[in-house]
């Protein structure tokens, strides 16, 4: 038995090894490790961790089952609240959610809730346990737009309540950001994402790929002609943003979305797939979020020297600490307090250098973070051949512009009620990045869950 | 799966396929495009829509193989299927939403170059069905490369065929025909030019001389085609536009052609590599010193 104040360490691929492959970094707990870690849980009556979870998983209850070796029971407990435990166990920012509230964390390290969740989900998959479809269908049809975390959650919850749910996905594969955005080494596609999507399907949910709502058909058509009584919009974040600096259209400048989509969805990193990707010898990733870390670590694995350029300091990096830590271990170089001003291209239009200035932190701005200020005369040039812009996204207008009576806010996000997901249009609900702008997987799942409840109430009230 | 109903080789380098895709067929409009992917490991390839049959639920695509993926498409036969076929993507041509009575006052000239004849056809056909006869110039390098002549003849007002080598129709580039038509006393209030980028660029330079507003259809590199990746950005009048959601049609007089052509080159090497591999199979293991196949 180890130190009770510390987490049971989780096995990982060694940094030098994993920097050259796309296999999963974290190897997860085995049975014994999981049971030992579970025994650190104090089983608090008024559990703070549950309050920290956007989908309110009964954490002490599932950990108690793990402690006793009842993994199937543990899976059932999680399944009551989450449709995607194998995903959440891997990509949730637990340190600011469940684990951030853990009482153990006051005097030591929090219980490794995320790793335990992952263990339970993986164990269930290996043992062929699937969530059960409801015995009876209620005959009401609901459409879900987008098969990302919010859509899958909303669809799963509604299916459990007996609804006849169809998901419409624009891409050729289901999973949304779980497939095109988050890399294989953090979230294995076949082993984890596909399996979770299959689980949602086993609840009776139908998934139609290659349907772009707003183009292939519209929300109004679904409701008026196809017999859907309610629609949930979980269409995701949208168009990538660029800095607006000179040289940004040069060859070799990508959005993180493009770079990651090529590598993750289209599997450009694999020789047996046709989609090309520019690998680059020296790559600069601009930005400090989780997406920037994913792009940097992908470029690294494709063989490049990779620099993260971020205008604030390490403390303000918006990425999860674990991601920053992993990136550093693998050899990503962090050029902090640095901001690009221009991209220089060669005579053929390919990137050859990036001009940057050094920054220092000034007075706090509206966000409460200290505002970065340019240091006069600090301009310098770095020779690079690839630049990846990871600056966030702005909402895609495809659905909002083709749905009559759907209100959007100043930032062009769909306006939806926090509690129920209801939009300005009766019967239409929304959640996830389409509402909040780019955020996390689990927040999107929380919104999908809330909307499922909202839709259930809406349809029940209508029937009265 | 999306079944290929008909596969036809229009000439040495251009292929036509009729594909079963009811949802696309029901909603597509002139000016829009689709993305097609052959199999699990395939690339997403954007192609323009050449025709559609809403009743039969089919969409006609026309393409010229230029990379490994389109080379593979060319081998498919009637009865085969594409794994993915998604659309319609992009915005319809502007005139689709205009009042046909107002449109009748316009004098529209279409300029089609090579395989660009395919996306021009549904536009001319749409106008014809709404009682508007547009003039059409179709150009190609040589006689054998002219496509859809009969179809175009049936819907165009006046059809002017030209070949670079003079083997058929008029002789010379499409830009020369524009000059000649104007010299012959024709007047146009609008021009739509679709073809290779270099042709569209020179059409725009020509119509600029005569102050004829000109629409072009951009076909940049794309990945998802739904506004997510930003690969298809083009500079139009100093603004960054995404061809997949803002286009593909833009004001040709405002497009930054040099940048657009530069960006199209981006995957030339990679695409070339994939093509080499397809043609030579596993035999291509380096030696050229360029492709990394020896690593």
- B180: which residues sit within 8 A by CB, 6+ positions away? B170
For residues A283 and A306, is the Cβ–Cβ distance under 8 A? yes
> What confidence category does residue B209 fall into, taking pLDDT thresholds of 50, 70 and 90?
very high
Quote the CA–CA distance of A405 and A423 in Å, as a whole number. Answer: 9
Q: Does B189 touch chain A (CB under 8 A)?
A: no
- Assess whether pLDDT exceeds 50 at residue B286: no
The pLDDT assigned to B294 comes to: 32
Same-domain status, B75 and B120:
no
User: Which tens digits make up the pLDDT trace of A196-205?
Assistant: 999 999 999 9
CATH of the domain at B43: 2.40.30.10
For residues A428 and A403, is the Cβ–Cβ distance under 8 A? yes
Domain stops at, among B38, B63, B89: B89
> What confidence category does residue B293 fall into, taking pLDDT thresholds of 50, 70 and 90?
very low
Chain A: residue whose CA lies nearest to B224: A171
Same-domain status, B46 and B127:
no
Write out chain A residues lying below 8 Å of B240, CB-based: 242, 248-249
Q: Are residues B86 and A212, on separate chains, in Cβ contact within 8 Å? A: yes
State whether residue B249 is helix, strand or coil.
Answer: strand
- Assess whether pLDDT exceeds 70 at residue B269: no
- Assess whether pLDDT exceeds 80 at residue B285: no
Same-domain status, B129 and B35:
no
The pLDDT assigned to B280 comes to: 45
Same-domain status, B129 and B71:
no
Same-domain status, B109 and B82:
no
- Assess whether pLDDT exceeds 70 at residue B1: yes
What are the tokens at A459? 């349809």
Confirm or deny that B291 is annotated as ligand binding. no
Quote the CA–CA distance of B180 and B175 in Å, as a whole number. Answer: 9
User: Which tens digits make up the pLDDT trace of B68-113?
Assistant: 888 899 999 999 999 999 999 999 999 999 988 899 999 999 999 9
Q: Is residue B37 part of a domain?
A: yes
Could you list the residue range(s) of the whole structural domain that residue B104 is in? 98-216
Confirm or deny that B229 is annotated as ligand binding. yes
DSSP state of A148: S
Domain stops at, among B193, B216, B239: B216
- A256: which residues sit within 8 A by CB, 6+ positions away? A240, A285, A287, A291, A292, A294, A295, A388, A389, A390
Write out chain B residues lying below 8 Å of A226, CB-based: none
Domain stops at, among B89, B112, B132: B89
Quote the CA–CA distance of B28 and A76 in Å, as a whole number. Answer: 46
Q: Is residue B259 part of a domain?
A: no
User: Which tens digits make up the pLDDT trace of A96-110?
Assistant: 899 999 999 998 999
- Assess whether pLDDT exceeds 70 at residue B277: no
Cα A388 to the center of its chain, rounded Å: 19
- Give the pairing of strands A141-145 and A380-383: unpaired
Same-domain status, B102 and B199:
yes
Q: Which domains does chain A have, with CATH numbers?
A: 11-126 (1.10.1060.10), 141-238+395-463 (3.50.50.60), 241-392 (3.50.50.60)
- Select from A268, A274, A275 the residue whose CB has the most chain B CBs within 10 Å, as the one to mutate to test that interface: A274
Output the pTM of the full model.
0.88
Spans of chain A below 50 pLDDT = none
Q: Is residue B111 part of a domain?
A: yes
For residues B59 and B24, is the Cβ–Cβ distance under 8 A? yes
CATH of the domain at B105: 3.40.50.80
Other C-beta atoms closer than 10 Å to the C-beta of A95 total: 15
Chain A: residue whose CA lies nearest to B25: A216
Average pLDDT, stretch B279-288? 38
The pLDDT assigned to A334 comes to: 97
Average pLDDT, stretch B188-217? 94
Burial B1-28 (b: 16+ CB within 10 A, else e): ebebbebeebeebbbbbbbbbebbbbbb
User: Which tens digits make up the pLDDT trace of A234-270?
Assistant: 999 888 999 999 999 888 999 999 999 988 888 888 8
Same-domain status, B210 and B123:
yes
User: Which tens digits make up the pLDDT trace of B210-251?
Assistant: 999 999 999 888 888 888 888 888 989 988 899 889 989 999
How many Å from the N-terminal Cα to the C-terminal Cα in chain B?
36
For residues A380 and A342, is the Cβ–Cβ distance under 8 A? no
Q: Are residues A275 and B44, on separate chains, in Cβ contact within 8 Å? A: yes
Q: Is residue B237 part of a domain?
A: no
Cis peptide leading into residue B288 (ω within 30°): no
Q: Is residue B42 part of a domain?
A: yes
Q: What is the ipTM of this complex?
A: 0.84
User: Which tens digits make up the pLDDT trace of B131-181?
Assistant: 999 999 999 999 999 999 999 999 999 999 999 999 999 999 999 999 999
Same-domain status, B77 and B133:
no
Distance set, CA B221 to CA A448, B40, B243, B286 (Å): 34, 20, 9, 27
Residue A143 distance to chain B (closest CA, Å): 16
Nearest CB partner across the interface for B87, out of A215, A277, A398? A215
For residues A312 and A359, is the Cβ–Cβ distance under 8 A? yes
Residue B235 distance to chain A (closest CA, Å): 8
Residue located via tokens 């289901």: A174
Nearest CB partner across the interface for A258, out of B23, B229, B259? B229
Same-domain status, B75 and B107:
no
Q: Is residue B43 part of a domain?
A: yes
Average pLDDT, stretch B25-46? 92
Q: Is residue B149 part of a domain?
A: yes
Distance set, CA B159 to CA B31, B111, B112, B143, B169 (Å): 20, 10, 11, 15, 10
Same-domain status, B156 and B60:
no
Same-domain status, B18 and B70:
yes
- How many structural domains are present in chain B? 2
Q: Are residues B84 and A209, on separate chains, in Cβ contact within 8 Å? A: yes
Q: Is residue B201 part of a domain?
A: yes
% of chain A at pLDDT higher than 70:
99
Same-domain status, B120 and B201:
yes
Q: Are residues B85 and A254, on separate chains, in Cβ contact within 8 Å? A: no
The pLDDT assigned to B295 comes to: 32
User: Which tens digits make up the pLDDT trace of A284-303?
Assistant: 999 999 999 999 999 999 99
């Amino acid at each position: 038995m180890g130190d009770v104040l510390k987490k049971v360490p989780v096995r990982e691929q060694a940094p030098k090894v994993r920097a050259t492959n796309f296999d999963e970094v974290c190897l997860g707990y085995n049975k014994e490790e999981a049971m030992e870690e579970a025994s650190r849980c104090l089983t608090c009556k008024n559990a703070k961790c549950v309050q920290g979870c956007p989908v309110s998983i009964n954490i002490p209850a599932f950990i108690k089952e793990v402690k006793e070796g009842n993994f199937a029971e543990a899976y059932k407990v999680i399944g009551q609240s989450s449709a995607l435990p194998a995903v959440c166990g891997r990509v949730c920012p637990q340190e600011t959610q469940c684990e951030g509230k853990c009482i153990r964390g006051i005097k030591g390290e929090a219980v490794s809730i995320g790793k335990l969740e992952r263990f339970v989900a993986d164990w269930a998959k290996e043992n062929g346990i699937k969530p059960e479809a409801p015995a009876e269908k209620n005959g009401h049809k609901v459409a879900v737009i987008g098969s990302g975390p919010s859509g899958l959650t909303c669809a799963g919850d509604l299916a459990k309540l007996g609804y006849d749910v169809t998901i419409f996905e624009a891409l050729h594969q289901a999973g949304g950001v779980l497939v095109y955005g988050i890399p294989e080494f953090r979230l294995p596609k076949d082993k984890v994402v596909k399996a979770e999507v299959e689980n949602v399907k086993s609840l009776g949910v139908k998934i139609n790929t290659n349907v772009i709502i707003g183009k292939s058909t519209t929300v109004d058509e679904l409701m008026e002609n196809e017999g859907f009584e309610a629609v949930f919009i979980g269409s995701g974040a949208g168009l990538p943003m660029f800095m607006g600096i000179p040289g940004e259209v040069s060859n070799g400048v990508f959005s993180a979305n493009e770079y990651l989509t090529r590598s993750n969805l289209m599997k450009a990193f694999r020789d047996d797939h046709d989609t090309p990707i520019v690998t680059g010898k020296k790559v600069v990733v601009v930005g400090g979020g989780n997406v920037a870390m994913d792009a940097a670590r992908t470029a690294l694995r494709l063989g490049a020297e990779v620099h993260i350029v971020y205008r604030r300091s390490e403390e303000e990096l918006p990425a999860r600490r674990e991601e920053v830590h992993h990136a550093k271990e693998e050899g990503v170089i962090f050029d902090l307090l640095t901001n690009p001003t221009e991209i220089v291209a060669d005579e053929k239009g390919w990137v050859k250098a990036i001009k940057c200035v050094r920054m220092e932190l000034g007075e706090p701005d509206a966000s409460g973070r200290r505002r970065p200020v340019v240091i006069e005369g600090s301009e310098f040039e770095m020779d690079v051949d690839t630049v990846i812009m990871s600056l966030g996204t702005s909402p895609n207008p495809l659905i909002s512009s083709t749905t009559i009576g759907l209100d959007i806010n100043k930032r062009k996000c769909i306006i939806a009620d926090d509690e129920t997901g209801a939009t300005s249009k009766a019967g239409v609900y929304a959640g996830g990045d389409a509402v909040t702008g780019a955020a996390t997987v689990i927040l999107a799942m929380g919104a999908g869950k809330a909307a499922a409840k909202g839709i259930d109430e809406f349809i029940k009230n209508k029937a009265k | 799966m999306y079944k290929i109903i008909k596969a036809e080789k229009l000439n040495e380098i251009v292929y036509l396929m009729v594909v079963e895709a009811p949802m696309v067929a029901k909603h597509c409009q002139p000016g829009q495009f689709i993305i097609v992917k052959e199999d699990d490991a395939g690339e997403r390839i954007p192609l323009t829509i050449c025709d559609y049959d809403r009743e039969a639920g089919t969409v006609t695509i026309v393409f010229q193989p230029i990379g490994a993926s389109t080379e593979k498409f060319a081998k498919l036969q009637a009865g085969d299927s594409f794994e993915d076929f998604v659309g319609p993507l992009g915005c319809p041509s502007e005139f689709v939403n205009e009042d046909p009575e107002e449109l009748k006052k316009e004098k529209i000239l279409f300029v089609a170059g090579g395989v660009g004849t395919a996306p021009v056809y549904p536009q001319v056909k749409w106008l014809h069905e709404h009682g508007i006869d547009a003039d059409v110039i179709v150009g190609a390098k040589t006689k054998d490369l002219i496509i859809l002549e009969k179809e175009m003849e049936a819907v165009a007002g006046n059809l002017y065929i030209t070949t670079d080598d003079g083997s058929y129709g008029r002789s010379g580039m499409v830009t020369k025909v524009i000059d000649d038509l104007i010299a012959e006393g024709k007047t146009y209030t609008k021009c739509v030019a679709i073809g290779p980028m270099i042709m569209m660029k020179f059409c725009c330079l020509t119509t600029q001389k005569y102050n004829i507003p000109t629409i072009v259809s951009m076909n940049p590199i794309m990945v998802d085609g739904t506004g997510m990746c930003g690969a298809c950005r083009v500079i139009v009048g100093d603004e960054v536009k995404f061809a997949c959601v803002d286009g593909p049609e833009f004001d040709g007089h405002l497009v930054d052609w040099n940048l657009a052509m530069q960006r199209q080159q981006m995957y030339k090497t990679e695409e070339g590599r994939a093509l080499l591999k397809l043609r030579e199979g596993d035999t291509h293991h380096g030696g050229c010193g360029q492709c990394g196949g020896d690593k």
